[in-house]
Amino acid sequence: MIIQTERTLFKKDENADAVKAADGLIAKAAVSGASDIHIEPGENNACVRMRIDGVLYKEAEMNKTLMQAVVSRVKVLAGMDIAEKRLPQDGSIKLELDRRNIDLRISSLPTILGEKIVIRILDREKFALNLDELNFTPENLALYRRLYNYGSGIVLLTGPTGSGKTTTLYATLAELNSSERNIVTIEDPVEYRINGISQVAVNEKAGLTFASGLRSILRQDPDIIMLGEIRSLDTAATAIRAALTGHLVFSTLHTNNAAGAAVRLVDMGIEPFLVASALRGVVAQRLVRRICPHCKTAYAANAEEKAYLNINGGDGLTLYKGSGCEKCRGTGYLGRMALQEVMPVVPELKKFILGKAQEETLFAEAEKFGAVSMRSDGVQKVLKGHTSLEEVLQAVH
Ligand SMILES: [Zn+2]
């Protein structure tokens, strides 16, 4: 495959080997479902790695001359300055591969051994725009849907980068999308376009930030607002104000668990009574690898595994693992799925927020009203044979 964009169509510049190598890497990454490609200069050679299902794999090694040509090729395609090698740069490439629209975000970083390039692959077709396909248990999905059926207030999603928060948000907006509702988003970047929804991209250089964008959105009478991320007190305060004045607001925060989001808002400087009245609930999320269906095998759980899963007694317990095959590159895993923790802010929980309770206390109270911890959600998915105990342990701790 030779990638052609308006930037390269009329140029007969780079050498053929570099073009073939660069384009081949991009095509291979897209086909194997990789989320990013890392091209890293080493002391003597350069290393290319790809991240598949959240794990980095070494893909190839190349000499530094070829690597530099590959980097130049990528920078040309991305509209970056190939002469500038001492400062970090960003660029993007849009392409069509097997009739799929793929967006690539490229960033360069000058390391002491040369330029390191990371290519993020945003495959629009990969987003499942249906909440039913996001691995919520039926109980958690019902709990989650109740959070936003109030029609106003703020619903938060938490988890580290790459935990599938954006996918859940898009699926939620797709469900709420109708001609009677004015839905506006402000995102960094806009990863997926949904018809009927007004999406705004953050542009820090031009002064369009989450906070300033949100203030402009509020002047346009929205019903539902999706704010990509709450990073500052200013953004948090504006979002809470919007939630308290009849808008339904969705956003994300970086905390380890659902209860942590309520605590974080207070720590950021929002008055506890505002958090208690605006916050409808929180979903914490993590991605784990799914056992490969092609090499899935049953085995008898050992004592340690049974203890973790709280299954006591002498009866045998069957668990599953992937034994490794060609389809999963010998890893035993293919694709990923989400673990969730849904915490509705029921009236009984509000007084704990007002009293600045710690995360553990808050969540223990929430459990009385149906909240299920992420660990328990993971255990359920292990017992059903969807994922392994190792994956859950790694995601939860
Ligand atoms: Zn397999």
Phi, psi (deg, nearest 5) at residue 287: -105, 140
CA 385–ligand 1 middle distance (angstroms): 14
The residue written with tokens 């790694």 in the block is: 394
CA 320–ligand 1 middle distance (angstroms): 12
CA 59–ligand 1 middle distance (angstroms): 19
**Tokens found for residue 82:** 């190939």
DSSP code, position 208:
B
Residue 22: C-alpha distances to residues 27, 77, 145 (Å) = 9, 10, 44
Residue 173: C-alpha distances to residues 50, 130, 290 (Å) = 31, 10, 26
CA 285–ligand 1 middle distance (angstroms): 25
CA 298–ligand 1 middle distance (angstroms): 13
CA 126–ligand 1 middle distance (angstroms): 21
CA 334–ligand 1 middle distance (angstroms): 7
| Mean pLDDT in residue range 241-267 | 96
CA 303–ligand 1 middle distance (angstroms): 26
Residue 8 has pLDDT above 60, yes or no: no
CA 297–ligand 1 middle distance (angstroms): 10
Residue 375 has pLDDT above 50, yes or no: yes
d(CA 24, CA 18): 10
Residue 14 has pLDDT above 50, yes or no: yes
Q: In sequence order, which residues have a C-beta less than 8 Å from that of residue 374 and are 6 or more positions away?
A: 257, 284, 286, 339, 340, 341, 395, 396
Yes or no: say if 85 and 115 are a contact pair by the CB < 8 Å rule.
yes
CA 58–ligand 1 middle distance (angstroms): 19
Quick: pLDDT tens for 108-152.
Answer: 999 999 999 999 998 766 666 789 999 999 999 999 999 999 889
CA 33–ligand 1 middle distance (angstroms): 15
CA 102–ligand 1 middle distance (angstroms): 26
CA 328–ligand 1 middle distance (angstroms): 4
CA 23–ligand 1 middle distance (angstroms): 27
Per cent of the chain over pLDDT 90 is 76
Q: In sequence order, which residues have a C-beta less than 8 Å from that of residue 108 and are 6 or more positions away?
A: 71, 75, 80, 88, 89, 90, 115, 116, 117
User: Residue 274 corresponds to which amino acid?
Assistant: L
CA 324–ligand 1 middle distance (angstroms): 4
CA 191–ligand 1 middle distance (angstroms): 30
Residue 99: C-alpha distances to residues 23, 28, 123, 124, 272 (Å) = 16, 15, 12, 12, 50
CA 34–ligand 1 middle distance (angstroms): 17
- Model pLDDT, residue 9: 43
- Model pLDDT, residue 10: 41
CA 376–ligand 1 middle distance (angstroms): 26
CA 333–ligand 1 middle distance (angstroms): 6
Q: Nearest 5°: CA angle at 359, between 353 and 362?
A: 50
Quick: pLDDT tens for 320-374.
Answer: 999 999 999 899 999 999 999 999 999 999 999 999 999 999 999 999 999 999 9
Quick: pLDDT tens for 30-82.
Answer: 888 899 999 999 999 999 999 998 899 999 999 999 999 999 999 999 999 99
Within 10 angstroms of residue 378's Cβ, the number of other Cβ atoms is 25
Yes or no: say if 159 and 284 are a contact pair by the CB < 8 Å rule.
yes
CA 24–ligand 1 middle distance (angstroms): 25
CA 32–ligand 1 middle distance (angstroms): 14
CA 321–ligand 1 middle distance (angstroms): 10
- Model pLDDT, residue 244: 96
d(CA 258, CA 159): 9
Residue 64: C-alpha distances to residues 41, 110, 194, 304 (Å) = 7, 15, 42, 48
CA 323–ligand 1 middle distance (angstroms): 7
- The DSSP secondary structure of 117-151, one letter per residue, reads EEEEEEEGGG----GGGS---HHHHHHHHHHHTTS
CA 378–ligand 1 middle distance (angstroms): 21
CA 319–ligand 1 middle distance (angstroms): 16
CA 135–ligand 1 middle distance (angstroms): 20
d(CA 378, CA 68): 44
